[in-house]
Structure 1
């Protein structure tokens, strides 16, 4: 064995230290890059159960360190579930800060998972323009700047909420200019519409819609305040694809009469009809996260389950509840393949139907299954919302805690209305 001189040992040690420094620097750069990714990929606020710490399921170790300079704020929500909000710093590997977030600790809600099909009846707030037609060689409505998807609120100061009201005002205009107040992309504006005389009546050359009806799936019922969440996506106009502005809505009973199987490029659908005139409750909110309101009674015999928070969801096996034949909902196997925790993301989860029985019956996800509750580890974690057109075995899902938050808005609104009435 060759003896090394003191200078040789010193040189070798120096080389090792340099390599270690380079490696440490590379690891630090990688950690900072990962932290930068999670800064945008993770939401800024969370629900957690009382007595538990904020934990996030992720590929890398992420913990939450309380901010010492921040204090907790006592809150009371509408369902009398006491809560408090704290601020903490998310840490990568326990040492690299990602960002500050807030977590609201609550008594974990227990909700009844549904899965039953329900009828949706909506009356719009105003009327929606869905198409145009030519009148005497032109189109008065289109020419004055009205566009498909516009919500007409009033004409000449008269509020309109039905096709008949719009037609009556236009017919009685005598061809005089009409001031039309409309809403477009959440902003109001006024245009001047001049009807044209054709075939014995004055016309505007536009088609409007004042109501909509369809079938979806109930996701959950909150027995504590009588609220429900369903569908997981908004009710949109079939022509314009725009979300319908809600004036009033009802929950109706439906009979499932059959289904059209999904196939590649051709999503299937549940077939059904409204069962009589009985109303089961009211719809008070139509939004990006679904439809929400109150039910007269619990629609399900299922036992309540705990709400699962988004940061607790894991990729892997889960189940959905749905009824495809009008009978009691059944449980079917799925996989949660992707989870997107980023706030404001268009879709929260990607799910895959793996249950051979369901695939044989439906070919995958069909229209009308939107709102089917997703259960993982005994907790309600989400709902199915969309089907992939070219791969109906796959679809999107929404987080259940987001839907729960929406249902609490309904509870709060109802409570405030009661207080004002008294």
Structure 2
């Protein structure tokens, strides 16, 4: 830290005060975005399995560029942002030094440019890189305002399935896979989010080459069931602050490590109508007992006649449905095979628990407890 401070002071002497402020601002922002190392995980032996359908709303860090909207000028249509090097999927963190937390903040800052032709200074995040970019706004003769030629968004919504809930820590896991932006096809870098109750209204059955889909009814104005703090390869995670979604499904069951899962019969818990959680038969075709986290550690097949009749197999919105084998929670449904909607991938619950900051108790710890 001392070496960094000395180096920074030396650099600041050789640049003007404006540049100094930009450097300090950038360093502080990068420091804020770099995550701390994981603290020691809470050990668990049981969790409450889910299966409930939930509505999901994510707010991005800053605003995300989802496309370009060329500005009408006297010389034709132009997007100065695209010309300057902005790319779809970039996240705008700051505009002229002001933090951008949502669409409204971006719009308000752009309004300040109505009487100015000065370049706009953006701070962008692209994957793991954060960098400044200067763009000349251009006058839109149609709207009579200065524009950058961007389509942006600060939130996205959808449905998924709750996988587990740990009542001692209030932590939950859902979906079993990362949420991607449907327009940019890139992972959503979240600022915060929430889950709410959701009722299934209808189902489009899956067919070869076309995934099916659950249709759900929910409102993001409803009271929050819980927060979303992590959107990772293993699902979304946060804390449940309202246990009403569990209803009568609140009996904990043991959790299994990846090396305990075996090929053979199992069940999944999911909702196919209204908000009723039901159990359906499946078969675990294969399971790879990896010592390292794996997002597609299982291949599963739906065998339950009732579920096949209603859904055709695995459908969108079923992601996160808990997989139970021999009375233990072993994983969650994650993906469907496009050429065979009756089959798909699952993730071992061990890796979902780890992502939530929970760790399955070792045999030694269980023996001591007993």
TM-score range, shorter chain: 0.7 to 0.9
Question: Who is 2:300 aligned against?
Answer: 351
Q: 1:143 to 1:132 in 2, by over 3 A?
A: same
Q: TM-score by structure 1 length?
A: 0.70
Which consecutive residues of structure 1, in runs of 5 or more, have no partner in the other structure?
A: 1-75, 82-107, 411-422
What is the SS of the residue equivalent to 1:277? Answer: coil
Q: Distance in 2 between matches of 1:132 and 1:322?
A: 39
Report the Cα offset of residue 338 of structure 1.
2.5
Q: Which residue of 1 aligns with 2:333?
A: 384
Deviations 1:293-330 (A, max 9, x none): 11124332232111100011112211110011023211
Distance 1:253 1:397 in 2: 24
> For residues 377 and 281 of structure 1, do their structure 2 counterparts lie closer, same or farther at Cα, with a shift above 3 Å needed?
same
Worse overlay, 254-263 or 359-368:
254-263
Give distance in 2, aligned partners of 1:308 and 1:230.
17
Aligned 8 A contact 1:219 1:372 in 2: yes
Q: How far has the Cα of 1:138 moved from its partner?
A: 2.1
> Which position in structure 2 is the counterpart of 1:4?
none
Q: Trace 1:8-407 onto structure 2 (pairs within 5 A).
A: 77=40, 79=42, 81=43, 109-135=45-71, 136=73, 137-173=77-113, 174-198=116-140, 199=142, 200-275=144-219, 277-298=222-243, 299-300=245-246, 301-302=248-249, 303-342=251-290, 343=292, 345-407=294-356
Cα distance in 1 for partners of 2:194, 2:256 equals 28
Runs of 4+ in 1 over 6 A off after TM superposition: none
Give, in angstroms, the shift of residue 345 of structure 1. 4.5
Higher RCO structure (Cα 8 Å, ≥6 apart): 2
Distance across 2 between alignment mates of 1:163 and 1:279: 22
Query: Is the CA contact (8 Å cut-off) linking 2:302 and 2:308 kept in structure 1?
Result: yes
After TM superposition, the structure 1 stretch with the greater mean CA deviation from structure 2, 376-385 or 291-300, is: 291-300
Query: What CA RMSD, in Å, does the superposition of the two structures yield over aligned residues?
Result: 1.9
CA-CA distance at 1:231 after TM superposition: 0.6
For residues 132-158 of structure 1, give each alpha carbon's deviation from its aligned partner in whole angstroms, at most 9, with x where no partner exists.
122233211111111011111001111
3-state SS of paired residue (2:351): helix
Indicate if the aligned counterparts of 1:170 and 1:204 stay in contact, CA closer than 8 A: no
Tell me the equivalent position of 1:104: none
TM-superposed deviation, 1:77 = 4.6
In 2, the alpha carbon distance for the partners of 1:327 and 1:251 equals 15
Alignment check: 8 A CA contact 1:115 1:219 kept? yes
Q: Tell me the number of residue pairs that the alignment of Structure 1 and Structure 2 aligns.
A: 308
Q: Name the larger-Rg structure.
A: 1
Residues 346 and 222 of structure 1: is their aligned pair in 2 closer, same or farther, counting only changes over 3 Å? Answer: closer
SS in 1 for 2:318: coil
C-alpha displacement of 1:170: 3.0
Q: Do the aligned partners of 1:117 and 1:326 also contact (CA within 8 Å) in 2?
A: no
